[in-house]
């Protein structure tokens, strides 16, 4: 259910007025979601949900307790508040608890679009029918998920804070497999605007890639030049950026720690062609205008010409270090270049074309060394041409090393991360990139 700003403010004010705690924080979240799921070229489920919830956090000094309710009459609010207050009184103190925020100033929202909010069951069914028909025509098996959602969120505090925003999202995810199970293709997109989503193009991409990936052969592990499609680049960038925690750096616990103390802000950490930033008003990846505490979302450059510009600071650590708080990235945007995918491949003497990564796990926070697998299409490039599919491989690499070895990029585009780094709803905009000396350690029989 999508409440108006006035409706959200009324509920927040009622809850705050009934509170007996020293400080009270409330968060209201509402959504309307509708989806279709399909597998083996057949629709399996379809449905819609509409919900609103209120989370109440009561605080006494540095003790806090939280209760969530979906009942908003006075008696239910009283019950939820008293329960939150009782929990707070018996909870241990949090020595790093910060006072609740008061009034803030926010940039007007740009993340809500009526075409998604009014998307019909017929549109969702048609987008799935397109994929299924194309899969049957090409004799592959398709499975996927289509969802449209509209959502609102509001936060308020007994100190005078109130923030409200809305957003929409249209998501399309498709995997195609050859009947013998040897070839797999994938395509996925998420946009705030329905008009930007092209289910027909995504279906063609996944299905054609599955056919290309049929009957892969083995290749020796080792160091290769890779052409990473945007989804693979996004995973690397997101893992690096969400390691950029100022406290961990200042305490010497991460790659961003400076030898001898402090952090590496101002140092060159990746190639000078790399620029990474967040912008809640970015046209391809707009976000809501505040974070979970009510801090305004702001445009923030994290890396400029390869030089680290900022780390994110919790309110506690910012106060301790005499800095302004900086929220975790509201979205992740990496500038690209002027090359096309064809250019990246044509400029590769011998290398691998990577569709995406999955099952990525951190190995060493001091270097941001990661391990993961390729998935849904890995192809050998020889003399500037894709020559054959190869079996998936495990890789061990740091995004810092990878981003120091970039030699060409395409224009950036909105992408979906398979790993959900930074939260499943994080908006990502990244280019495809050609990267030298990417390390593969073993072969995998997984498709």
pLDDT tens digits for 61-118? 999 999 999 999 999 999 999 999 999 999 999 999 999 999 999 998 799 999 999 9
Does one domain contain both 154 and 193?
yes
pLDDT digits (tens, 9 = 90+) for 357-391: 999 999 999 999 999 999 999 999 999 999 999 99
**Residue 19 above 80 pLDDT?**
yes
| 230 and 316 inside one domain | yes
Assess whether 194 and 310 both reside in one domain: no
Shared-domain flag, residues 153 and 255:
no
Out of 178, 195, 211, a domain closes at 211
User: Which tens digits make up the pLDDT trace of 193-244?
Assistant: 999 999 999 999 999 999 999 999 999 999 999 999 999 999 999 999 999 9
Whether 176 and 127 map to the same domain: the answer is yes
With a pLDDT cut of 70, the percent of the chain lying above it is: 99
- Structural domain total, the chain: 2
Q: Tokens 């019950």 identify what position?
A: 79
Give dist(CA 294, CA 296) in Å, integer: 6
Confidence at residue 415, expressed as pLDDT on a 0 to 100 scale: 96
* Mean predicted confidence (pLDDT) in 11-20: 98
Which of the listed residues 152, 176, 211 is the one where a domain comes to its end?
A: 211
41: exposed, middle or buried (Cβ count in 10 Å: 0-12, 13-18, 19+): middle
332-350: average pLDDT: 98
CATH number at residue 19: 3.30.2290.10
DSSP-derived letter for residue 329 is P
CA 36 – CA 146 distance, rounded (Å):
5
Together in a domain, 27 and 135: yes
- Over 80: is that where the pLDDT of 281 sits? yes
What pLDDT is attached to residue 109?
Answer: 76
Q: How confident is the model at residue 425 (pLDDT cuts 50, 70, 90)?
A: confident
Instruction: In whole angstroms, give the CA distance from residue 21 to residue 39.
Output: 50
Tokens 């990661």 found at: 370
**Is the Cβ–Cβ distance between 189 and 205 less than 8 Å?**
no
Phi/psi for 16 (5° steps) reads -65, -35
pLDDT band (50, 70, 90) for residue 421? confident
Place of tokens 């009782």: 86
Q: Tell me, what's the pLDDT at 424?
A: 66
Q: Predicted confidence band at 423 (pLDDT cuts at 50, 70, 90)?
A: low
The pTM score is 0.96
Last residue of a domain, one of 177, 211, 245: 211
Q: Same domain, yes or no, for 297 and 413?
A: yes
Tell whether 81 and 184 lie within a shared domain. yes
Residue 342: give the domain boundaries.
Answer: 216-446
Report the pLDDT value the prediction gives residue 81, as an integer from 0 to 100: 99
H or E segment to which residue 128 belongs: helix 121-137
Same domain, 141 and 259: no
Pair 150, 228 in one domain: no
Question: Residues 325-354: what's their mean pLDDT?
Answer: 98
Average pLDDT, the chain: 97
């Amino acid at each position: 259910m999508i409440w108006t700003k006035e409706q959200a403010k009324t509920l927040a004010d009622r809850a705050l007025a009934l509170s007996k705690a020293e400080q009270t924080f409330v968060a209201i979240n509402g959504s309307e979601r509708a989806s279709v799921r399909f597998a083996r070229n057949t629709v399996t489920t379809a449905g819609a949900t509409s919900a609103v919830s209120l989370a109440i956090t009561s605080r006494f000094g540095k003790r806090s307790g939280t209760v969530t309710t979906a009942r908003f009459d006075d008696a239910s609010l009283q019950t939820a508040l008293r329960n939150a207050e009782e929990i707070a009184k018996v909870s241990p103190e949090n020595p790093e608890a910060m006072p609740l925020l008061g009034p803030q100033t926010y940039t007007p929202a740009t993340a809500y679009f009526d075409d998604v909010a009014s998307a019909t069951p017929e549109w969702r069914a048609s987008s799935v029918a397109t994929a299924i028909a194309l899969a049957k025509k090409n004799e592959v098996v398709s499975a996927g998920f289509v969802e449209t959602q509209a959502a609102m969120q509001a936060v308020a505090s007994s100190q005078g804070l109130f923030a409200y925003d809305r957003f929409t999202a249209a998501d399309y995810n498709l995997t195609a497999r050859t009947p013998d199970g040897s070839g797999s293709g994938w395509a996925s997109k998420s946009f705030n605007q329905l008009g930007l989503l092209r289910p027909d193009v995504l279906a063609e991409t996944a299905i054609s890639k599955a056919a290309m990936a049929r009957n892969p052969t083995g290749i020796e592990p080792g160091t290769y030049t890779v052409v990473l499609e945007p989804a693979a680049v996004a995973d690397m960038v997101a893992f690096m950026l969400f390691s950029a925690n100022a406290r961990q750096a200042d305490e010497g616990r991460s790659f961003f720690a400076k030898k001898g103390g402090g952090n590496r802000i101002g140092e060159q950490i990746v190639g000078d062609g790399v620029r990474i930033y967040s912008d809640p008003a970015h046209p391809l990846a707009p976000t809501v205008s505040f974070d979970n505490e009510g801090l305004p979302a702001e445009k923030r450059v994290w890396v400029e010409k390869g030089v680290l510009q900022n780390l994110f600071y919790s309110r506690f650590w910012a106060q301790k270090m005499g800095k302004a708080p900086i929220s975790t990235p509201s979205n992740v945007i990496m500038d690209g270049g002027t090359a096309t995918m064809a250019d990246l491949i044509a400029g590769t003497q011998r290398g691998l074309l990577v569709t995406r990564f999955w099952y990525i796990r951190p190995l060493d926070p001091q270097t941001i060394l990661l391990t993961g697998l390729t998935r849904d299409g890995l192809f050998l490039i020889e003399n500037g041409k894709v020559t054959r599919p190869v079996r998936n491989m495990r890789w061990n690499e740091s995004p810092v090393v990878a981003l120091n070895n970039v030699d060409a990029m395409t224009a950036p585009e909105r992408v979906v991360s398979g790993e959900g780094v930074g939260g499943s709803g994080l908006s990502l905009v990244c280019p495809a990139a050609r990267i030298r000396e990417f390390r593969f350690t073993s072969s995998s029989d997984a498709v």
